[in-house]
Structure 1
C-alpha cells in the first residue's frame, strides 16, 4: 500500500485540527500486527539537517531557501529562536509533502530577548554561540527536564571565548549571556563526551568568529561522530573551510557563509520504527527517497537491521526491508552484541527489537543517552521490565535477556524515541498502551497517523 503523507492547505505541523494526526487524550493503544506488511511511505525532512541549515542560513551572506524542511516542535523552536534574534524566516510555497518551504533572510542579530529551548538539544546547544554574536543580553530556558540536560561544556566554552555568561554555577539551563556583537574566537578546548552537539554548535557559529576557531575535544570518547561529520559537510557546502588535522581537532577558518538553496533529506533515524515494524510483522516496508550518500546516522540501519535476519534492498532511490515471516508470523530473531556509539539515537528501536529476540543482547556505547530527553537507559529498562522483561543497566549500555512480555502501560517520559520504541513492542505484544504518544511531535508529528496507515486493515 502507498501511504499518503499528511498535508493540507493551511499547514499545521502539530495537526491540532486534524483528528487523524492526533491521538485521543489518555494512553494510546499501540496497534498489534496481525498480517505481513506491504507498505511504502515517505518521511518528513531530517531534524538534524533542518536545524543545522536554519542556523547556517541565519548566519549566511544572503537569503537561503530550505526545501522540504522538517516541521516539528524541535524545528519550530529553532525557527522561533532565530526569529527572536531578528532573523526573518517565512514560509513559502513548495512541493514538499509535509508543509511549506522556508525562506531565511539574515539580519543583524539583536539581543534583549529570551529563547525557549523546549527539550531540543540542538536549540540549547547550537543557539548560545549564535546569540553571542548578537548585541545585548539573551536568556535561555526550556522544559522542566531540559534543565537536567548537560550544558556545562557550552557555558564553559563561551566563557573561555570571552563571553559573559551567568548560570549561577548550575552548568545547566536556565542561563543568560551578554553578546557584544562579535566573538574573537581562536583556540578552545572542551570535553564533549556527553554530546557531539557541543562540538557542532561551536563549529556552526565559528566562521563568524573574528579569528575563526580551532576546537579540541579533551574527553576520552566522543559519541555520535556522524553528527559532527554532518555539521562539517553542511559548512563546506556553504563555502566554509573546515579541516580536521587529527582526530578530535577541528579548524574552522573565518569568513562568509554562502547563501544557498537546498533540499533537506528525509529523516533516516525516524525511519527506524517503520523499518523495525517489518521485522516484527513480516512483509516489506519501503522508504522513498533514501539518499545514496548521506551523513545521517540513520543510514546505519541498512547494516544493523539485517543482523536481526531482515533483508535490505535498494532501487530507484528507495530502500526496502523484507522481514520475512516476522516475529508475529513465528520467526525468531537473534540477540546481538552491538556498539552503537556512532548513533545512539537508533538505540531505542534496536533495544525494542532485542527485547523481542530469542537470545540475550548487549547494546553498549550509549552511556551518553542518560543525558538525552530523558535518561533513556533507565527508562528503557524500566518500561521493558514493567512488561515482564529482564533488562539491566551497564556502565555504558543495556543488557537484555528476553522474556515473554505482556501488555501494560508504557511511559514515554515526554521522549519521542521512547514512544516509538513502545510502538514497536506493541506490534508484537497485545495490550500495550503508550502514555505520551504526542511526544513524537518533537521530530515526527505525523507518527500516530503514519503508524496506523502503515497497517491499514492488518491492524487490530
Structure 2
C-alpha cells in the first residue's frame, strides 16, 4: 500500500504514526530570496563522524508543480494542486500567472505542505506587464508559450545569469506561429519583448531540442490552447533530457489532453481543446532527494525518504538503479518509504543521460573506489551554469582528476582533501558540495542559499540529517 501523499486528508490523519526520532522535515519558506544576495557567503558543510540514520521528508517536485500550474492556468475551470512546491522558481511562476489574471489561493497544512487553488480567467490578460524569470528555466521557457496563447504583448527578463541561458529554439518556434520578438541584447536570449497579437495556426513546427528539453515541453503544454493544436517535430540531432519530455506528455494525457507521438519518437501531435480543471497531488522531488539518498553511501549510513512513488516519470526515479549499481542496498517498502543503506563501498559507474542528477552523481563518483564515466549530458553546459566546466573545476579541488568531454565527464578519484567549493549560483552545484562535505572534513560551499531555487530550507534539512552522524560522548 502506497503511503498517503502530503496535503491529503489521510496524510493529516496518519502523520503522527510516521514520526520517528530520526525523522527530519522543514517548513518551506515562502520567500523568494535571490542567490545574488548571498554571493559572498560561505557555508561550512557538516562532516559525518559516524554512520547516518535519518528519515528525510523531501519537498515536492518543482518540475511537476510548474507543469501543473501552467495547465491549470489554461484549464476551463478551477484546479486544486495538493503538495505544491513553494520555492523561488515556483514563486516566480505564481507571480507570472497572477499577472495574466489567474486567481491563486494558497492553503498551508499542519504537515508543512501547501495546496494551491488555481482559478483561470475566461480570457488571459493580454497586457500582463513584464515577467521576472529569475533563474528559473521553467518560467523563462514555459511562460512565453503561455503568453502566446494569451495573444499578449510584454517583456521578459531575469537574473544576470539567466541572460546567458539559451532560449532561441522555443522563441523561434513561437515566431513560426506568428509571434514577433525584439531583443535588448543577444538575439535568442533574455531580455526581450514579445507581441503575440498576430498568433496564427501553423502546420508542423520544427524545434531544436539539443540544448534543453524545456523547449519542447513549453510548446507541448501550451499546444491544447493553440488554435488548431500543434504538430511539433524535433530537429535533427540529440534531444536533451528526454525523460522530462516523457513527463510532460504523461502529465498532458493524465489531464485529458490528446497527444499522439510520431512513429520515430521525434514528433508530437496535440489536439486543440481546453482541458478541464483537475485535482492532483504533486510527488516529492526525486531529483532533490538524490543528495540525501547518496549521503547514505558517502557517510556509510541509512537514509529513508517517505512517499516514494512506485511509478514515476521523474528523472530522479533513476536513483534507485544508480545507487544499487554503486554499492548501496536499496528497498522500497509497502508503506512507500525508500530506504538506502551504504555498505561501506562506493563503486565507479558508467552512466548515460543522468541529466539534472549529474552534479550529485559526479560528486559521489569522486568518492568512489574506481573511475566513472558520465555521458549524454553535454546539454548541461546551458543550465544554470556550465555544469560540466564547473564540476571539472570543483571536483579537482577535492582531489579527483576530472576531464570534461564533448558530452560528459570522466572522473578518476584521488586522495581527498578539504576545499572551498564554488556554487556558481547553481542549486545542484551547491548540494553536490554539501554531499562531498559529509565525507571530506573541511569543505565550505559558497552561497548555499542558492538551494532556495527548488528546495527552501535545504541547509537546515541537511544539517539535521548530518547531525545523526555525530559521535556521542
How does the TM-score come out when normalised to structure 2?
A: 0.90
Aligned to 1:3: 23
The whole-number CA distance in structure 2 between the counterparts of 1:81 and 1:256 is 20
What's the offset of the Cα at 1:459?
A: 3.6
Contact 2:52 2:466 in 1 (8 A): yes
Aligned to 2:436: 425
Aligned to 2:340: 321
The whole-number CA distance in structure 1 between the counterparts of 2:136 and 2:453 is 8
Work out whether 1:63 is the aligned partner of 2:78: yes
Aligned residues: 443
Contact 2:61 2:85 in 1 (8 A): yes
The whole-number CA distance in structure 2 between the counterparts of 1:209 and 1:60 is 13
Any runs of at least 4 consecutive aligned residues in structure 1 with deviations exceeding 4 A, and if so which? 22-25
How does the TM-score come out when normalised to structure 1?
A: 0.93
Contact 2:32 2:452 in 1 (8 A): no
Contact 1:308 1:334 in 2 (8 A): yes
What's the offset of the Cα at 1:136?
A: 3.6
In the TM superposition, what are the counterparts of 1:209-248 in structure 2 within 5 Å? Answer: 209-246=226-263, 247-248=265-266
Work out whether 1:379 is the aligned partner of 2:390: yes
What's the offset of the Cα at 1:26?
A: 2.4
Deviations 1:235-283 (A, max 9, x none): 1122110010221110000001110111000000001000000001112
The whole-number CA distance in structure 2 between the counterparts of 1:233 and 1:135 is 27
What's the offset of the Cα at 1:33?
A: 0.7
The whole-number CA distance in structure 1 between the counterparts of 2:32 and 2:162 is 24
Residue range with higher mean Cα deviation, 191-200 or 131-140: 131-140
What's the offset of the Cα at 1:42?
A: 1.2
What's the offset of the Cα at 1:186?
A: 3.1
1:223 aligns to what SS in structure 2?
Answer: coil
The whole-number CA distance in structure 2 between the counterparts of 1:211 and 1:31 is 55
Structure 1, unaligned runs of 5 or more: 17-21, 327-331
Aligned to 1:402: 413
Deviations 1:101-127 (A, max 9, x none): 111000121233100111111111111
Aligned to 2:114: 100
Q: Quickly say closer, same or farther: Cα 1:82–1:408, change in 2 above 3 A.
A: same
In the TM superposition, what are the counterparts of 1:254-265 in structure 2 within 5 Å? Answer: 254-265=272-283
Work out whether 1:161 is the aligned partner of 2:174: no
The whole-number CA distance in structure 1 between the counterparts of 2:163 and 2:171 is 14
1:405 aligns to what SS in structure 2?
Answer: coil
Aligned to 2:89: 74
Deviations 1:58-105 (A, max 9, x none): 00001101101001011111111111111111112445x334311100
RMSD (Å) for aligned C-alpha atoms: 1.9
The whole-number CA distance in structure 2 between the counterparts of 1:163 and 1:429 is 52
Contact 1:115 1:139 in 2 (8 A): yes
Q: Quickly say closer, same or farther: Cα 1:398–1:25, change in 2 above 3 A.
A: closer
What's the offset of the Cα at 1:14?
A: 4.0
Aligned to 2:215: 198
Aligned residue among 435, 448, 451 for 1:437: 448
Work out whether 1:124 is the aligned partner of 2:135: no
Deviations 1:369-398 (A, max 9, x none): 000000000001111112332111101111
Contact 1:374 1:415 in 2 (8 A): yes
Work out whether 1:84 is the aligned partner of 2:95: no
Deviations 1:330-383 (A, max 9, x none): xx42222111x2x41111111001111122111111000000000000001111
Aligned to 2:162: 146
Structure 2, unaligned runs of 5 or more: 1-20
1:210 aligns to what SS in structure 2?
Answer: coil
Aligned to 1:19: none
Aligned residue among 308, 311, 315 for 2:326: 308
Q: Quickly say closer, same or farther: Cα 1:93–1:440, change in 2 above 3 A.
A: closer
Aligned to 2:4: none
Contact 1:134 1:181 in 2 (8 A): no
Contact 2:351 2:373 in 1 (8 A): yes
Work out whether 1:416 is the aligned partner of 2:427: yes
